[in-house]
Amino acid sequence: MAAWSRIGGGGVMRKIQIIFIAVLVVCGSAALGAQETTKSAADPDAKSGQDYSGMYSFQKEGEFVQVTVEDAGKVTGFVSRFGDGESDKGAFLDQFFKSGKLEGNKLSFATEIVHGIAFDFKGTVDRGTGKNPGDEGYYVLKGTLTENVSDVNKKVTSHSRDVVFKMFPQDAAPTPAIRK
């Protein structure tokens, strides 16, 4: 009773309001602490994956893959490569992703078919040899690249190989066009 008398001259209703407010404060603090614990336990580095967005080397000198990590692990991008066929030998071809996703550091994407060729990649995004963000090779894509080649009869031949694609240095990215 001594504690109640210190609260001050209100009646029973005032005391119930104070108890109710105290319970809300304690419960609210506990809920916020639980959310922070869950978030940090599920994602210790708190990486959204957007750090992995950028240009990476591809199969040959001058070729690249552009990876853009969007919300909820959705990945968009394209492969820009030289044509190998009789009709496109040496021509620059862009093959946009028809699907792509990032779960943690696990990356996968599949390109549209261009001139009878499509690519599938399944692997990881890992730290490379670059010392600082923006350095060449700060991140690398490691995994299996499958090249699917369709002939005129729509028969598909697949060739898989292990690859490592290095992130280009940040200052090597193409300069965005200025719109007028």
Burial class (CB in 10 A: 0-12, 13-18, 19+), 180: exposed
- Does 177 map to a domain? no
Taking 70 as the pLDDT cut, the residues of the chain under it are 1-48, 172-180
Helix residue spans in the chain (DSSP H): 2-7, 12-42
Per-residue confidence (pLDDT) for residue 152, from 0 to 100: 86
> Tens of pLDDT along 73-102?
999 999 999 998 888 888 899 999 999 999
Q: Is 76 helix (H, G, I), strand (E, B) or coil?
A: strand
Number of domains comprising the chain: 2
**Cβ atoms 67, 53 nearer than 8 A:** yes
Q: Which range marks the domain in which residue 125 is found?
A: 50-171
- Does 125 map to a domain? yes
Q: What is the CATH number of the domain that holds 60?
A: 2.40.128.30
Residue 77 shares a structural domain with residue 142: yes
Residue 56 shares a structural domain with residue 37: no
